[in-house]
Chains A and B, each alone.
Chain A
Amino acid sequence: MKRSPLGRIWPNLTAVALFLFFVFPVYWMFATAFKPTGDIISENPVWFPTDATFEHFKTAMDADHFWTMVGNSITVTVCAVVLSLIIGVTAAFALARMRFKGRRGFIIGFMLAQMAPWEVMVIAIYIIVRDADMLNSLLPLTLFYMVMILPFTLLTLRGFVAAVPRELEESAMVDGCTRMQAFRRVILPLLAPGLMSTSLFGFITAWNEFPLALVMNKEADAKTLPIWLSSFQTAFGDDWGATMAAASLFAIPILILFVFLQRRAVSGLTDGAVKG
């Protein structure tokens, strides 16, 4: 079926228009962050940051407690991801490899937990944490983030464990491995791509989390980056250059991880395991 010239051009034109629509806000964030203030507050927009400057990044990074908050965000996120990986991989092994009563119920339970409306539970969580006298501490935040990403981690890893052929594990056990050793030496290495993609997804979720941090960690040195960013404009007035620099600093790790993830996540992991 031959297409008319018009029929070949319009999809490409639409694609370019859509590309601009989706990229522009991201581009504008970076462009504004690098533009000198004179170019930001100009009657006609300056489309390209020709006189790039790091001044706005300096303003953002010199903000009070900035590095403390970077530390908080990293601590909370990394601890939550590591904990949920450890707990998740153990549970995933049971759910994927063993037959037992209530297995289906547990899976459905975790599926429900994955959809939990955390945004709507902030009041109860605030009161629980206040009664435990743990407001403005990183521990409750870490634990809640861990549970927030646990269902996804566990259910995804279950798929990865199930994809490892039983024969690999059994032949290791025939060769004298205990079940634990077989798991450590045979299954765990094959889970690497799964562990990678689930931990990146977990990282993104915890790094971006807003409502819980908003109610629990109000003190300046206990805040995480999303809270800092959302109040940045209030604190710095209409300094859009610095605000966009702050947004860029916050977004860059996630943008990098995401590009990375896109390449890794879609993997036919055990494609070669049995054939090879």
Chain B
Amino acid sequence: MPTKEMASMTVQKTERPPSGPTEVQAPDGGPRPRGPRATPGRLAGLTPYLLLAPAIVATVLLLGWPLVSNGMLSFQNLNMRQFILHLTEWNGFDNYTEILTGEDFWRVTGRSVAFTAANVVLIMILGTLVGLLLARLGRKMRTLLLVGLVLAWAMPVVASTTVYQWLFAQRFGVVNWVLAKIGFESMADHDWLSTQYSTFFVVLLLIVWQSIPFVAINLYAATTTIPKELYEAASLDGAGAWQQFTSVTLPYLRPFLYATTFLEIIWVFKAFVQVFTLNEGGPDRLTEILPVYAYIEGMGNQHFGMGAAIAMLTIVILLAITSYYLRIVLKQEEDEL
């Protein structure tokens, strides 16, 4: 493996200085007895903060500020007129009242939840099955399947969406052709993007297709760390294949599955790019999920204040899921921190 070789080469290079100290001393010619801990104490206490400063400043300015500013925009009456004239008109909780008492927001939220649930359930079940299959396959077949998974994983989202548009194209699309051939002749000229459910079906297939590899490959990697002795002990106790799975494999993978499920929930919930590039939330705004809804209201219809309020509500939902996820991860890594 090239990795190992590279690592060992760098190690050799870095281990040379101790054996040949003259080389190290030469550049600054400093006297040796000065020693490593010559820095004055007070300055040393500040060093970590100075080293962290650029990262913190950048994050606060470019991530923290937009978040705060989004919050501020959500309390403003900011439409095209105010936007062009650079006017700031505060309107208190008006945007939120309008959104939360209207039907649209709740419909889109319900849709987003159902959409996320359908995707994540499929991704986790199928991803786990593919991962377990990888563990069971022989070397050659495993490599073959891994190649397929890595290619699907690597495909840029916008490129995949374009390809799916072509696969499901009304005319000359290969999916319609196959469906017509296997007996669904009414599908020959089917326009997939003309109804809500069939558009969602294409998006769902796209997201499941591009998300399974992450789950499957990582799950396979996790199964390789399960100690063989556990299985031996289980089979000595008379456990069959299914019992071995439920009593050894599953408990061992539980933390991994738990964390991955939350990651997928977060990713799918904000799947703006797939939904937007496939059909821009259409037909008739029927496939808008929350991030797309915020974008169309805010940028598309130029109701920036309303859009910001929808975005704020979406961010709150995401933050709740994310903090739950982080608690799981932090519990696992407690000793590392």
Contacts and interface: CB of A to CB of B under 8 A. Distances in A.
Contacts of A21: 148, 209
A129 to B, nearest CB: 10
B45 to A, nearest CB: 7
Nearest to A122: B295
Interface string B161-200: 1111111010110100100000000000000000000000
A40 interface: yes
Contact of B18 (A22, A116, A171): A171
Nearest to A104: B337
Given A143-B62, A208-B156, A19 B73 contact: no
Given A12-B141, A41-B172, A115-B322, A181 B24 contact: yes
Given A90-B55, A108-B326, A115-B322, A18 B148 contact: yes
Interface stretch (B63-71, B90-98, B99-107): B63-71
A168 B15 CA distance: 8
Given A87-B58, A186-B17, A193-B6, A270 B166 contact: no
Interface string B8-31: 101111110110010011011010
B3 A193 contact: yes
B59 interface: yes
**Interface of chain B: mostly helix, strand, loop or mixed:** helix
A75 interface: no
B236 interface: no
Contact of A229 (B45, B54, B158, B294): B158
Contacts of A6: none
B56 to A, nearest CB: 7
Nearest to B30: A176
Contacts of A78: none
Interface of A: 11-12, 14-16, 18-23, 25-26, 28-29, 32, 40-42, 44-45, 87-88, 90-91, 93-95, 98, 100, 103-104, 106-113, 115-117, 119-128, 131, 143-144, 146-147, 150-151, 154, 168, 170-179, 181-182, 185-186, 189-190, 192-193, 204, 207-208, 210-211, 215, 226, 229-230, 232-233, 238, 240, 243-244, 246-248, 250-251, 254-255, 257-259, 262-264, 266-273, 276
